[in-house]
Amino acid sequence: MSTQVTSTAAVERPKAEFAEPPQPYWKLVLRRFMKHRMAVFGSITLFLLVFMSFVGPFLSPYSFDGIDLPNSNQQWPSMAHWLGTDELGRDILTRLMYAGRISLSVGLSVAFLGVVIGTIVGGLAGYFGKWVDNAGMRLTDVFLSIPILMLLMVMMKFLGKELFIIVLILGATSWMGVARLVRGEFLSLRNQEFIEASHAQGASSIWIMLRHMLPNALAPIFVAATLGVADAIMLESALSFLGFGIQPPTPSWGNMLTDAQQYMISTPWLAFYPGLLIFLTVASINFVGDGLRDALDPKLKR
Amino acid sequence: MGAYVIRRLLGAIPLLIVITAVVFSLMQLAPGGPLAVYGENPHLTAEDLEAIKVAMGLDKPPVIQYLYWLKEVIQLNFGHSLFTGRAVLEMIGERIPATLLLMTVAMSFSLLVGVILGVISAIKQYSKFDFSVTTLAFIGYSLPPFWFGIVLMIVFASTLQWLPAGGFADYGQEGNPLNVLSHLILPAAMLSILQIASWSRYTRSSMLEVIRQEYIRTARAKGLDEWSVIVKHGLRNGLIPVVTVVALSLPSLFAGAIMTETIFTWPGVGRLFFDALTKSDYPVLMAILTISASLVVIGNLLADMIYALLDPRIRLS
């Protein structure tokens, strides 16, 4: 996988140059992305989900914790409550939209945090090599050895369950993949001539890493970040479902599923919605990530 | 080979020590300290608590406490549960058969299905079959396992009432294989879906690589039938990476699947961990965490060694 990643566009250009005028890199990427049908489909679904979560709550007449006991456990969707109400008479659709806002924000922040930590650890390890590499990779091994769900459950239990802490903990335990990836990229870039040239010109290590190496490793990092969002949403939902993540009354798709599980016999369909939304979100992001991989680096095409 | 094994074994020791340190430090984060559970007991006075503290060595600095703990752990003594007072290892030991049963059934089933799907996918790359398997694998990856478990439960247990919703067996039926099997089907199905998705992907990409090799062309050129080419020459090499990934997932045979065991109240190690965490039973938590992490390290070692054993190119280079 980590053969030298020189400018990814260079691979395609020679043959494109004769056929049509050279195009900017992003146009090429976009065109390749549009060819991936599932990725396009995923982007549309994702856009709808984001719209629903961030704009939807403003359009809803209900709040996510508005209790309405006379209308609790409405059997069927109605004009007033499109997807019905839960055991406390809270509007299901509104809660799903709020939950989506939280899940998506957590997913994005965690992936961002994970990528930043992973890039730093992997970048330093790959650039400096020797004992820095050794230390960085052993640290990665330690984090990879401890079963992640167990580790997260214990940390959540001990450190609290506020949103901010959940993001920090998830971010602090989801950087290992990116670290290995960036290390590999940096290792292969390190010995290339343009880096040597930069050294010869007296460039500092930080400059070389940020100006020359990082941009060349961006494509796979970007793909990993996208897939990281999906993983983070899945982990957060799992933790919330088990009761160690986002705490009621704040809705999350995971804890809504826990609620629904208690009313599995009387209103089994309540368990259907939150899971379907997690699935749609994670699947769309995975498809987009796959499309990005093909579009950004055709050599990686599986 | 011998030198390689010894080098890897030596490399694992510091890793194991760091892991125990991480697990121990993790427990230092427990709010109220390890004796918080005793604090809820109205019969215990402050002096009693102090006495327990001294008796357990909790008045010493954390580093000393860690070394004491490590000394016991090396001798495989994980202490006693704060709730039952029983030896932790004994409590874990009686949960292992259930976990082992669930995980081996789920793993062998999904391996069988996943490898077959992956091989056919690879042979017929870009066919309709390949496309469907790829799409299904993507869906399997994206399906929240806990939701899938609950849907299975709603459909097959509470609506159709074909299968029991949870537990290991009906009361008094623990020795009846058929009864246990009926309880096993749903949790095993929940675990299998994700595993089938990943095994089929591994097998597919590994087989794709093998099929392009020259020795496959040679095998075809010397007139072998397609079955021998694919199974004897292709699969034997294509499965090497898969075997190592199987070795990597062996640790899960111990810790099981927390979510599956929690949803279906399967009395395995994962469920024990969940319960111990809910009750703040620290010795049990520490034992399960330490053992699982150590098994991951051992699994990694095993995977590397199997790889080196099966593929001489690794050893020689």
Is A264 in contact with B23 (Cβ distance < 8 A)?
no
At B187, the pLDDT band (50, 70, 90 cuts) reads very high
| B34 or A192, greater pLDDT | A192
pLDDT of A298 over the 70 cut: no
Q: Give B-chain residues touching A238 at CB under 8 angstroms.
A: 144-146, 259
pLDDT tens-digit map of B46-69:
787 788 778 777 777 888 888 888
Residue A151 lies in a domain: yes
Residue A72 lies in a domain: no
Nearest by CB: A238 against B138, B141, B146: B146
pLDDT of A1 over the 60 cut: no
Give the SS3 label for residue B80.
Answer: strand
- Model pLDDT, residue A285: 92
CB of B277 within 8 Å of any CB in chain A?
A: yes
Q: Is the peptide bond before A249 cis (omega within 30 degrees of 0)?
A: yes
- Quote the mean pLDDT of chain A: 81
Is B142 in contact with A302 (Cβ distance < 8 A)?
no
Nearest by CB: A282 against B142, B154, B259: B142
Q: Distance between CA B140 and CA A95 in Å, rounded?
A: 26
Helices (H) and strands (E) in chain A, counts: 14, 0
Give the closest residue to B170 by CA, choosing from B262, B100, B265: B265
Is B255 in contact with A271 (Cβ distance < 8 A)?
no
Residue A63 lies in a domain: no
pLDDT of B215 over the 90 cut: no
CB of A274 within 8 Å of any CB in chain B?
A: yes
First CA to last CA across chain B, in angstroms?
12
At A106, the pLDDT band (50, 70, 90 cuts) reads very high
pLDDT tens-digit map of B113-122:
999 999 999 8
Is B158 in contact with A265 (Cβ distance < 8 A)?
yes
Is A261 in contact with B143 (Cβ distance < 8 A)?
no
At A10, the pLDDT band (50, 70, 90 cuts) reads very low
Average pLDDT over residues B75-95: 87
The upper half-sphere exposure of residue A204, i.e. CA atoms within 13 Å in the direction of its Cβ, equals: 3
CB burial class (10 A; 0-12, 13-18, 19+) of residue A44?
exposed
Residue A73 lies in a domain: no
CB of A144 within 8 Å of any CB in chain B?
A: yes
| B34 or A181, greater pLDDT | A181
pLDDT of A82 over the 70 cut: no
Closest-CA residue of B relative to A268 is B154
Residue A15 lies in a domain: no
Residues 40-79 of A with CB under 8 A from B: none
CB of A1 within 8 Å of any CB in chain B?
A: no
- Model pLDDT, residue B31: 77
- Model pLDDT, residue A230: 92
Residue A130 lies in a domain: yes
- Mutation pick from B8, B146, B193 vs chain A, by most beta carbons of A within 10 Å, is B146
- Model pLDDT, residue B7: 80
pLDDT tens-digit map of A19-39:
556 677 778 888 888 888 888
- Model pLDDT, residue A3: 42
Residue A21 lies in a domain: no
Give the closest residue to A182 by CA, choosing from A263, A118, A240: A118
Average pLDDT over residues A77-99: 74
Quote the domain boundaries for residue A186.
Answer: 29-52+90-296
- E strand spans, chain B: none
Domains in chain A, number: 1
Q: Distance between CA B74 and CA B68 in Å, rounded?
A: 10
First CA to last CA across chain A, in angstroms?
11
| A26 or B20, greater pLDDT | B20
pLDDT tens-digit map of A126-160:
888 888 888 888 888 888 888 888 889 999 888 88
CB of B139 within 8 Å of any CB in chain A?
A: yes
Q: Give A-chain residues touching B26 at CB under 8 angstroms.
A: 151, 154-155, 158
- Residue identified by tokens 């990427």 is A29
Is A283 in contact with B159 (Cβ distance < 8 A)?
no
Which CATH number covers residue A182?
1.10.3720.10
Is A154 in contact with B135 (Cβ distance < 8 A)?
no
Nearest by CB: A142 against B18, B274, B277: B18
- Residue A175 near residue A114, CB atoms below 8 Å: yes
pTM for the full model?
0.84
Residue A263 lies in a domain: yes
Residues 164-223 of A with CB under 8 A from B: none
CB of B12 within 8 Å of any CB in chain A?
A: no
Is A147 in contact with B251 (Cβ distance < 8 A)?
yes
- Model pLDDT, residue A89: 65
Closest-CA residue of B relative to A287 is B138
At B250, the pLDDT band (50, 70, 90 cuts) reads confident
Is A150 in contact with B150 (Cβ distance < 8 A)?
no
At B13, the pLDDT band (50, 70, 90 cuts) reads confident
CB of B302 within 8 Å of any CB in chain A?
A: no
At B126, the pLDDT band (50, 70, 90 cuts) reads confident
- Mutation pick from B15, B103, B135, B142 vs chain A, by most beta carbons of A within 10 Å, is B142
